[in-house]
Amino acid sequence: MRRLAGLAAVALWLTGCVTAPVAPLPKAPVPAGPAIAIETTPAEPTRTAFGAFVFAGGLVLTSAQTSRLHGLSDVVLGPGRTLTAVSDSGGDLVRMRLVLDRAGRLAGVDRATLSDQVNEAGRPLGGPEGDAEGLAVLANGDRLVSFEQVPRILLYPATGGPPRRAPAPTDIKGGNDGMEALGADPDAGPDAYIVGEEYTGRTWTCRVSAACAPGPTIPLTAPQAITSVKRLSGGRTAWLIRAFHYVGAYSVQRVRILDGSGAVVDELVLDSREVKDRLAPGSAFVDNFESLAAEERADGSVRFYLLSDDNLGANGQRTLLVAFDWTPSR
C-alpha cells in the first residue's frame, strides 16, 4: 500500500525527525528480466516462540544491482521453494529460490530474477496502473494479479502472452483501499480465487469462468487491514492482518487462521514495540508485512513466510522475509 510512504513522510515532518533514507541507485542500469544478485542479512527476533508458532529464520533483502527491489506486496510459494512476488512500485515480478539450512530454517535466497509485468497491450506496467497488490497462481499455472490505483485483476496465461481481464468485484473504487488480498481457492474450483478488500474486510469468491459472489466479512478493528490471504486444507484460511501506525511508526501484524465457519483457530501476533531485531539493535523486527505464503507439510504443520513492503525505505522500513512454523493443536 503505497500511501504509507507518504503518510510516514508527513509524520516525520510533523515530529521534526530526520528525512527518511533514500534507496540507493544501482551501480549500472539493470534491464528488466535478467538474473539479479540479492544480498541477505540475517534478522532474528528477540523472542522466537509465540504459542504454537515458532520462528524459523529471517532475512533482510537488498540488491546493489537494481533500485527496483522495493514495494513487494504479495507472494506465492511454488515448486522447488520458488518464491514469486509482485511489487506495487511499477508492478515488477520478482522470483527467487529459498535456501534452507540443515535444520530446515530459512538461511538465504538464490536464483533471483526481476522482470517487467505488462499490461493488456503488452507494454510494461508503470505509474498508477502498476500498483500490484495481490498475487495468486491457479492450478493450471495461470497467474492472477490484483491492482489498487486502477482497480482490476489481470490474468497472465501460463503459456505466455499479454494478460486479459479476469472477473473482479464491481463495487471497489480506485485508490489505496482496494483489492489488497488475493488467493487461489481450489476447494471452490480449479479456476476459483478469493478477493479481500483492505480496510473493510469484505471478501468475494470469484472464478475465471464466472462473476464474483460476495463472501463473509473479516472482522477488523481500525486501523487493521487485510493484506494477504492463503487457503489451507481442511477448509481453513490464513489471513495476514496489518495495523500500521503512521505517526508512532510501529506495526502490529497478525496471521489469523480461520476455520470454515469463520471461527478463529489460532493467531500469530507480532508487535514491533515488543519484538525487536536482535541482530540489528534499534531496528524493529516487525515491519510492514503485506505478503503471506504457506507451505503445508505431511505432519500437519504449516510453514508461513511473511514478506514486508519497505515503501522505498520510508521511516526505516526494510524488505524483510521471515518464516514461522505453526503446529496446530487440532
With 0.75 as the threshold, say if the pTM is over it. yes
Tell me how far CA of residue 73 lies from CA of 17, 180, 226, in angstroms. 27, 8, 12
User: What one-letter code names the amino acid at 120?
Assistant: E
The predicted pLDDT at position 264 comes to 97
The predicted pLDDT at position 202 comes to 96
The predicted pLDDT at position 92 comes to 93
pLDDT of residue 29 exceeding 60, the answer is no
Work out the mean pLDDT of the chain and round it to a whole number.
89
Supply 298's cell numbers: 505431511
Integer Cα distance of 235 and 219 in angstroms: 18
22: containing domain:
3-27+36-326
% of the chain with per-residue pLDDT over 90:
75
The predicted pLDDT at position 250 comes to 81
Q: Which residues contact 330 (CB under 8 A, 6 or more apart)?
A: 265
pLDDT of residue 13 exceeding 90, the answer is no
The predicted pLDDT at position 21 comes to 45
Integer Cα distance of 296 and 52 in angstroms: 15
User: What CATH number is given to the structural domain containing 49?
Assistant: 2.120.10
The predicted pLDDT at position 174 comes to 73
The predicted pLDDT at position 283 comes to 83
- 200-250 confidence digits (pLDDT tens): 999 999 999 999 999 999 999 988 999 999 999 999 999 999 998 765 678
Q: Which of 43-52, 78-87, 309-318 has the lowest mean pLDDT?
A: 309-318
pLDDT band at 31 (very low <50, low <70, confident <90, very high): low
pLDDT band at 175 (very low <50, low <70, confident <90, very high): confident
Integer Cα distance of 148 and 132 in angstroms: 7
Integer Cα distance of 132 and 227 in angstroms: 12
- 60-76 confidence digits (pLDDT tens): 999 999 989 999 999 99
- 251-297 confidence digits (pLDDT tens): 899 999 999 999 999 999 999 989 999 999 878 899 889 999 999 99
The predicted pLDDT at position 20 comes to 40
Higher pLDDT, 178 or 10: 178
The predicted pLDDT at position 1 comes to 54
Q: In three state form, how does the secondary structure of the chain look?
A: CCHHHHHHHHHHHHHCCCCCCCCCCCCCCCCCCCECCCEEEECCECCCEECCEEEEEEEEEECCCCCCCCCEEEEEEEHHHEEEEEECCCCCEEEEEEEECCCCCEEEEEEEEEECCECCCCCECCHHHHCEEEEEECCCCCEEEEECCCCEEEEECCCCCCCEEECCCCCCCCCCCCEEEEEECHHHCCCEEEEEECCCCCEEEEECCEEEEECCCCCCCCCCEEEEEEECHHHCEEEEEEEEECCCCEEEEEEEEECCCCCEEEEEEEECCCCEECCCCCCECCCCEEEEEEEECCCCCEEEEEEECCHHHHHHCCCEEEEEEECCCC
- 120-137 confidence digits (pLDDT tens): 999 999 888 999 999 999
Total domains in the fold of the chain: 1
The predicted pLDDT at position 8 comes to 43
